[in-house]
Chains A and B, each alone.
Chain A
C-alpha cells in the first residue's frame, strides 16, 4: 500500500478501479452472461411481438380512417354485429374441438409408440412427426385438393362404396369438420411427442407397484400415468389452445371463411375486415378480442400448474 501514500488524488482512481472490478464481476456472473446472450432474442421479441401488440392496441382505438380516437367504439360496433358473434362461436368450436381431438389422438398414439420396441421406435416417431414438420400452408394445399369441390379424391374413393358426393367445403357443417380435421392432423404429432417424452419420464417402479397392488390397465392409466402427465397435458393444452385460436393458414386456404362465413375464425375474419376490407382498426379489434379469452385460460391453467408445483 506504499504507493498509495504518494498519490494525492487517490480516491477517484480507487473508485474507478472498484467500478471496473465490479463490472468484471458482473460480467463473470452467470445471470449477466445469460442475459447478454438472450438480449438479441429479447430485442427481436420486443420489435416483432411487443411493438406490434401495442400498435394493434393503438389501432383498435382509432376510427376507420385512422384519424380519430374512438376509444372502445370499434368493440361497441363489433358487439352489435351478428357475424362477429358467429365468428366468436366458431372460433370456440374450432379451437376447443381441435385441441380436444389433438390431445386425445396424441395421447393414444404416444402410448402406442411407447409400447413399440425401442429398436423400431425412432422410425415410427419420425414418421408420425411428418405432418407437424411440413409447413401447414403446403400440406393444407394438398388437403384442398383432396377436398376439392369438383375433383375430390375422397369423393372419388367414396363413390366406389356408393357414398356421396359430399360437398366437403361447400356445406357449412362439412366445411367446419374439414378445417378441424386438417388442424387435428397437423397438430396431433406435437401432442404425441410431448406426451411420449412425458411417458418416458414416468418411473417404471410406479407401474410395478400398481401391478403388485392388482391395478388393471385402466387403473394404471388413471392413477399413475395421468397424474404424472398432468403438468405436460396442461402446458401443451394451453400452448395449443393459443396457437389454434390464432390459426389462420388452414382456414384461409381451405375455405377462406366460407361458405356463408361459417368457417371464419378470429384471424381469418380480422384479415377479411382489416386487410381486404381496408378497415385496419376494426381488424385489429377483432384480433384483439381473443386476448382476454386466452389470458383467462392461461391464468387458470398456469395457476393450476403452480399449485401442483408447490405441492410437489
Chain B
C-alpha cells in the first residue's frame, strides 16, 4: 500500500481553496433558510391559543436550526387585511402570511404555489372540504395551506331550554352528543316556525342583517339552501331566478321574527344578544359560548352548537377557512414550506385545536372527530357537532360558487343581506333583483 505524501505547496493551496470556498459560500442553514423566517399569523382571541402556535414554531425552529419571528396580527379593525394589502403593494414583508377566506385568490399573482406540500398533507390528513378547495385553489394550483387556526363554522348555537319551551324543539335530541344527527325535520320551514314561536315568547332569534361577516355568512348559507346563486361558477349572472326569489321570500317571512334593529348588527351584536339571555338562537362559532362560560355560566350551560336547517336544495353551513400563504417574494420559501408541513401534522393540528378550546377547525376529513369537541362543556358535548363530524351539512361560503374574485365583492358589499332588507322593507321583488344584477355586473370588472 503506497502512501501519497502531501507537499507543503499542496497543503497551502488546499487550505487556501477550502478557506475561500467557506468564506464565499452562502450561509445555509437547515431547512434551506436564508436569514430569519418571518410570519404574520392571525391573533387569536382565545387566550393561550397563540402560545400553542408559538410553541410549535419554536420546536420546528430548534430542530431545523432556523431563526424565526412571529407577528400576531389582529383582525380587529381589519388590521390583518390592511397588512396583507400593504405587503402586497410593497412586495415585501413576512415570508408566511395568514390570509382569511378570499385573500388567497385576491393575492394569487403574488403567492407561491404549494402543491408539492399539499399533496402529502392531504394524503396524511384526508381530503379537504369543497369550500377550502374553492378558496385555496386556482387552476389546480394550491395558493396556500389550509390553516386550522381561525377557521370556523358559523352554525346555529341554540338555547336548549328556550327552544324546548317556545318552539318545542329538543336540540340535544336532534343533534345528540356522540351520535349522528337526527335532524331530518330541521328544515327552513321548521326554522321559520321556531323563529316565530321564540319571537312571540320574547326571545327572538338573533340573526343580523348588517354588512359584517356573521350577517353575510348566515344569509349566504340560507341562499344556497334554496339553490340561490347571484353569479354561477362560470361567472354568468343568475340573479333573476326562482331560487333567488324563494330565498328572498324566506327572509321576508323571517325578518319580522327577528329583533327590530338587525339591520345595524355587527359581528359582536349576536354574541351579546345570546350572552345577555335575550335570544334563543344565533349563528356563530363557539366564541359566544366560550364567553358565556366565563361571564354568564348559567347561560353557557344551556347552549348547544348544531347544524343548519335544510332548504329545498340541501343543508349548507358557512365555513370560513384561513390559509397560511407564502409570498412569492419571500427569500425563505423552502423553510416556509417545511414549517407549514410541520404545522399541518395531525399532532400539531390537535394541539392547536385543543389550545383554542375547540374553536379552530381543521379542513381535513380525518381530523373532524378529535376528542376536544367531545369533551368540551358544560353542557358536555355542546361542541360535538360543531366540526360537522358526520358531513351532515355542506360547508359553504356566501356568494359561492361565483368565481372567487367576483364572489369576494358580493360578500364584502353584503349584497345578499342588502337584498333581503330592501325586499322586506317594501321594495318590489323585480326592482331588488334589477338592482342586485346591476351591482353584480359592476363586480365583474377585471
Contact = CB atoms under 8 A, between A and B. Distances in A.
A193 interface: no
A150 interface: yes
Nearest to B259: A150
B392 to A, nearest CB: 32
A259 B420 CA distance: 12
Interface in B178-200: none
A278 B211 contact: no
B364 to A, nearest CB: 27
Contact of B421 (A67, A259, A274, A277): A259
Given A170-B264, A277-B408, A272 B413 contact: yes
B438 A82 contact: yes
B261 A170 contact: yes
B103 A278 contact: yes
A220 interface: no
Interface in B423-446: 435, 438-439, 442, 445-446
B19 interface: no
Interface residues of A, number: 34
Contact of B412 (A67, A165, A255, A276): A276
A168 B78 CA distance: 24
A149 B264 contact: yes
A258 B442 contact: no
Given A256-B212, A276-B81, A278-B408, A167 B442 contact: no
Interface in A41-92: 63-65, 67, 77, 80-83
B442 A169 contact: no
B260 A259 contact: no
A139 to B, nearest CB: 16
B302 interface: no
A277 B413 contact: yes
B85 interface: yes
Given A256-B211, A256-B212, A77 B261 contact: no
B264 A167 contact: yes
Contact of B81 (A81, A83, A257, A275): A275
B106 interface: yes
Which of A81, A165, A275: most chain B CB closer than 10 A? A275
Interface stretch (B27-35, B41-49, B111-119, B265-273): B265-273
Contacts of A218: none
Given A150-B269, A276-B81, A255 B264 contact: yes
Contacts of A280: 85, 89
A65 B89 CA distance: 11
A260 interface: yes
Contact of B82 (A63, A261, A275): A275
A259 B212 CA distance: 11
Interface string B362-375: 00000000000000
B211 A149 contact: no
Contacts of B107: 278
A175 interface: yes
A170 B260 contact: yes
B266 A256 contact: yes
A151 interface: yes
Contact of A260 (B106, B405, B422, B445): B422
Nearest to B86: A275
Nearest to A70: B445
B240 interface: no
Interface string B260-291: 11111110010011001010000000000000
A220 B85 CA distance: 56
A150 B273 contact: yes
Contact of B264 (A63, A169, A272, A279): A169
Nearest to A168: B264
Given A259-B421, A276-B78, A277-B413, A170 B262 contact: yes
Contacts of A256: 210-212, 266
B264 A258 contact: yes
B327 to A, nearest CB: 15
B418 interface: yes
A170 B273 CA distance: 16
A277 B263 contact: no
B251 interface: no
B249 interface: no
Contacts of A150: 259, 261, 269, 272-273, 276, 278
A151 B442 contact: no
Given A258-B210, A259-B210, A278 B106 contact: yes
B260 A77 contact: no
B109 interface: yes
A260 to B, nearest CB: 6
A261 B422 CA distance: 12
A282 to B, nearest CB: 8
Which of B212, B422, B442: most chain A CB closer than 10 A? B442
Nearest to A171: B263
Contacts of A67: 109
Contacts of B439: 83
Contacts of B413: 272, 277
Nearest to B265: A149
B102 interface: yes
A258 B211 contact: yes
Contacts of B172: none
A276 B211 CA distance: 12
Nearest to B410: A277
Given A63-B446, A278-B408, A280-B89, A260 B263 contact: yes
B109 A65 contact: yes
B446 A65 contact: yes
Contact of B418 (A167, A260, A278): A260
B125 interface: no
Nearest to A83: B439
Closest 9 CB pairs of A and B: A170-B264, A149-B261, A278-B106, A169-B264, A259-B263, A170-B261, A170-B263, A277-B412, A149-B264
Interface of B: 78, 81-82, 85, 89, 102-103, 106-107, 109, 210-212, 259-266, 269, 272-273, 276, 278, 405, 408-409, 412-414, 418, 421-422, 435, 438-439, 442, 445-446
Given A170-B263, A258-B263, A277-B408, 9 more contacts: A82-B435, A83-B439, A150-B273, A165-B261, A167-B260, A258-B264, A272-B413, A275-B81, A278-B103
7 contacts: A65-B109, A82-B438, A149-B259, A256-B211, A278-B102, A278-B103, A278-B107
Interface of A: 63-65, 67, 77, 80-83, 149-151, 165, 167-171, 175, 255-261, 272, 274-280
